[in-house]
Structure 1
Amino acid sequence: MDPFEARLQFIQILEALNPSSVTLSRAIGFALKNMEMHEDFHSVILEELDKIDINARMNVMYFIEALVHNICSQNSSRELRQRPYLANIERDFHIILQKVIPSDNLVNLNGSVNILVEVEKCYNVDDSELWRSYLSLSLGKTPEIPEEVEKGFPEAWIYLINQKKRGLEARLKLLHDKPTAQEVEENGEKPLNQDLEQLSRKQILQRMEADRERHKRHKETNWHVIRPLGKVDRAEFEKIWHQYSALDDHDLEEMRDLYQEAAESYLA
């Protein structure tokens, strides 16, 4: 497949994305099959995020998360960031977030935070301090945020923190200075909470259905553990090991009772 045809086909696949696992698997399969095109495909992702609506951008975010998971779980002799897609995604993640969570619409904020947390696990990146700063940010509490951070995921966290702060400030203003309906009409002001105002009824229903589908898929896959084939992480082993007590006389007595009940049931 020549580069131009591959690019066009990838655009069509991204535009057809929805919360179902079928379209997601198709997109991941195409991206992995044509990994030599990863530079072009990365630019396609950035361009498409500018064109599609706010709900569809979240579908692309879930595609990025799934793609990263697939690449990181592959057995490869190459270092993590030398594998296709990964370096570009890390470098431009803050740009991706700017497109998925524009300043005038924060509806994708919480979902994007969850995706960033999962993506960082694949990269073995620990930004727990910035994550805690995001979580602790509230109407009455503003944690200290570093003025300068490293490029990549830390930069993405700063953008998320600033967007959450902006949303809280808008809510606070709405609580203290809420105009009456007459004042809004006279001044021609737009509501401060514009996130839902900018979504049509059809888009809201589509978003509700999409979130239900994602939640269902998450429940089906949240037991997955990414680890090298045939190996168990030490922390995981110790958790399971200490979860159960050693076999003692009481356990043996219960086992004998159960055996006796089972034997009697066969004779009945």
Structure 2
Amino acid sequence: MDSFEARLKFIQVLKSLSKTLNTILTYAPGSNSDSFNLSGSINMSGSKTAAVDPIQFYVTCCDEHYEDFQQCLFDTTSKMDSLDRLNVLIYYCKLIEMLKYLVDNSTGGLESKKHILNKVLLASIDKLYMLMLPGNEIKSLVNLNECINRFVDMNQLAGNIISDEEMKQMRQAFQRHSSTSATQISEAWYTVPDTEADTAGDYEKSFRTTLTLLNDRIGKQRLFYQQFANSEPIPCQEQGTAATQITLHRMENDRERHKKLKEHSWFIKRDTDRSMLSANEFEKLWDNTTGELTIEDLNNMQELHDISQQSYLTM
């Protein structure tokens, strides 16, 4: 697979994250990575029946194409709506988790993956968070809580570069946004310096910069809440509303993800519930039922409605 083909396939993976997010979230390195075919090929055909594992694709192909993948990830993410970029952050975090597991449990021969983990992925966290929470864009703060949670996870994987006390202070600042004075908060949005930290593998600096960025966005959220409560103009918010097509796009992503989940969870196996009627029993009861609805019928309908609602519940 040459560089051009690798880029095209990885872009396809990134654009399909909304459909594969449930697979990514349920990934368990201890149970899934053992079955990785690290030298094998990945089926990336266009058929709808061939599901591509986004994590295995990256882990399998990153040795030769990690630079292409990294550039594609940032270029593709920058073209997304800021609310949709959270899927990329979750994917990024899971890649770090998987590579960390492989490196820690390897007896040798994975030096390239150690390099990718430490000097590429971890060293670029600040740049990724700048895309997750761009300046002068209030709506991106909707994802702030999840961004903080993912930062905590990655910090633990990296060996707690940021101390527990600093993490605690950041969380406390986020949780009491509605009661803390915002008079000392700068209206200027913090921007990650355009430096190449990854050239020296200085991922500690990347984590420190990300912490500064998150604290700044927590302050901007606090300022927004207080000014909104006081019905004052909001100087740090760009004017304009989300485009209708963005809303429709997010609704379509949710619908597609829900459809994928229902393929595995919508049905009840008959052999586990003998009280279920067979098709013939149902037809017989239906034919012998009068056309009038009684209180008992309505209660039964409500019970069936509740059961159907439960069958659509997802994680």
Q: Give the TM-score taking structure 2 as reference length.
A: 0.54
**Secondary structure of the equivalent of 2:116?**
coil
Q: Structure 2 CA distance, aligned partners of 1:191 and 1:206? A: 30
State the partner residue of 2:18.
18
**Secondary structure of the equivalent of 2:18?**
coil
Is 1:198 the counterpart of 2:242 in the alignment? Answer: yes
State the partner residue of 2:153.
118
2:131 maps to a residue whose letter is K
State the partner residue of 1:73.
101
Question: Aligned-pair distance for 1:96?
Answer: 0.5
State the partner residue of 2:227.
173
State the partner residue of 2:119.
87
Aligned pairs for 1:97-112 within 5 A: 97-103=129-135, 104=137, 105-112=140-147
Aligned pairs for 1:239-250 within 5 A: none
Pairwise CA RMSD of aligned residues?
Answer: 3.8
**Secondary structure of the equivalent of 1:107?**
helix
Indicate conservation of the 8 Å contact 1:80/1:86, yes or no: no
Aligned pairs for 1:181-196 within 5 A: none
**Secondary structure of the equivalent of 1:54?**
coil
State the partner residue of 2:271.
none
Q: Structure 1 CA distance, aligned partners of 2:113 and 2:235? A: 45
Against the structure 1 CA distance between its residues 133 and 38, is the aligned structure 2 distance closer, same or farther, given a 3 Å change threshold? Answer: same
Aligned pairs for 1:2-41 within 5 A: 2-18=2-18, 20-21=20-21, 24=24, 26-36=53-63, 37-41=65-69
2:84 maps to a residue whose letter is A
Indicate conservation of the 8 Å contact 2:18/2:257, yes or no: no
State the partner residue of 1:163.
217
Against the structure 1 CA distance between its residues 194 and 120, is the aligned structure 2 distance closer, same or farther, given a 3 Å change threshold? Answer: farther
Indicate conservation of the 8 Å contact 1:80/1:123, yes or no: no
Q: Structure 1 CA distance, aligned partners of 2:179 and 2:89? A: 31
Question: Aligned-pair distance for 1:80?
Answer: 10
Question: Aligned-pair distance for 1:212?
Answer: 8.4
Deviations, residues 6-34 of structure 1 (Å, cap 9, x unaligned)? 11111111111115357647111111111
Is 1:153 the counterpart of 2:207 in the alignment? Answer: yes
Q: Give the TM-score taking structure 1 as reference length.
A: 0.62
Unpaired stretches in structure 2, ≥5 consecutive residues: 25-51, 185-203, 260-315
1:43 maps to a residue whose letter is Q
Deviations, residues 95-116 of structure 1 (Å, cap 9, x unaligned)? 1111111231312211111111
Q: Structure 1 CA distance, aligned partners of 2:17 and 2:256? A: 11
Question: Aligned-pair distance for 1:81?
Answer: 8.3
Aligned length: 201
Percent identity over paired residues: 21
Indicate conservation of the 8 Å contact 2:6/2:68, yes or no: no
Q: Structure 1 CA distance, aligned partners of 2:152 and 2:146? A: 10
Q: Structure 1 CA distance, aligned partners of 2:132 and 2:112? A: 25
**Secondary structure of the equivalent of 1:83?**
helix
Q: Structure 1 CA distance, aligned partners of 2:255 and 2:212? A: 30
Unpaired stretches in structure 1, ≥5 consecutive residues: 145-149, 180-188, 214-268
The structure with the largest helix share of the pair is 1
